Amino acid sequence: MNKPLRRIAIFCGLLVLALLVRDNYLQYVKADSLRTDTLNRRVAIERYAAPRGDIIVDGNPITGSTEVKHGDFKYKRTYKDGPMWAPVTGYSSQAFGGTQLENLDDDILTGNDDRLFFRNTLDMITGKPKQGGNVVTTLNGAAQKAAYDGLKKQGGKGAVVALEPSTGKILALASFPSYDPSSFAGNTDADAAARNKLLKENNPADPTLNRALRETYPPGSTFKVVTAAAALENGKYTSADQPTDSPLPWIMPGTTRPLPNEGNLPCKNATMRVALQYSCNTVFGKIGADLGNDKMLEEAKKFGFDAEQFTPVRSNA
């Protein structure tokens, strides 16, 4: 073989080698990232090719899916009592992605979670269409409705969270004002317009803000539970039914100002049980002052203050 032909053969061989290296790199090294790339239209089409699993409250779904009559996305999300449940469910939108449980448990809801492998395999063998898995919550429908209706009646802005004390289960988690996630679950111009109306720059009420999890509020009278626990654990009182040495009025240390109660309440030397019932500022203010900052801080940290929380959405320390 003469020299020019040998050079051409070597060059062609290098081109074939480069092609093989590139092909293997795409198929094995980059396969997962390309498969899950948000710009890969096939990923999005597959994502909405089957109904999502549901979010369950009291054994019943508070979400659903409906078939879309246009475009290449077959199903979109629907919500029952959307504004009431939005702080819990978040939204799942073909155009804007997802938040809250819709985002955190997306692998389960789309049916792609490894925990559904056995079921998915059986469905594939038996010819059943792919289906999403359900997410079962600890929420109580009646408690959630009472919380949301109360906030709505009160007006303004606010949040309500109800917990089961013995386990920490979330029974209600409401925020007001709220929004309907169904209003922008698709990817049309109407969905985009509906979402834009909810953004803070276009709506000062900021209805998409989850005030139950994304705002930091003073604990207020709920902190009296922490104060009561600190009193019992540090031996200041041996029982919640033991009278407290709490004068009325009570002057806060270092000041000349009485700490007021909310009205004419039976707070003088009240037991902690009665003081908690009537939310006596004087009783718990004095207990906190008597125990001192170090003991109160130690007890507060036991309750999770000053620590990041997962509920299941991360909240501020």
For the chain, how many residues are written? 317
Q: Is 239 one of the annotated active-site residues of the chain?
A: no
Q: Write out the two tokens for 247.
A: 């004068």
Q: Please tell me which residue in 93, 182, 221, 246 is annotated as part of the active site.
A: 221
Rg (CA), the chain: 29
User: Residue 233 and residue 278: Cα distance in Å, rounded?
Assistant: 22
User: Residue 183 and residue 197: Cα distance in Å, rounded?
Assistant: 11
User: Residue 102 and residue 134: Cα distance in Å, rounded?
Assistant: 11
Q: Which residues pair with 64 in a beta bridge?
A: 78
For residue 61, the Cα-to-chain-centroid distance in whole angstroms is 18
187 closest CA partner among 45, 11, 296: 45
Tokens 């038996």 label which residue?
A: 126
* Amino acid type, 77: R
Active centre residues (catalytic): 221
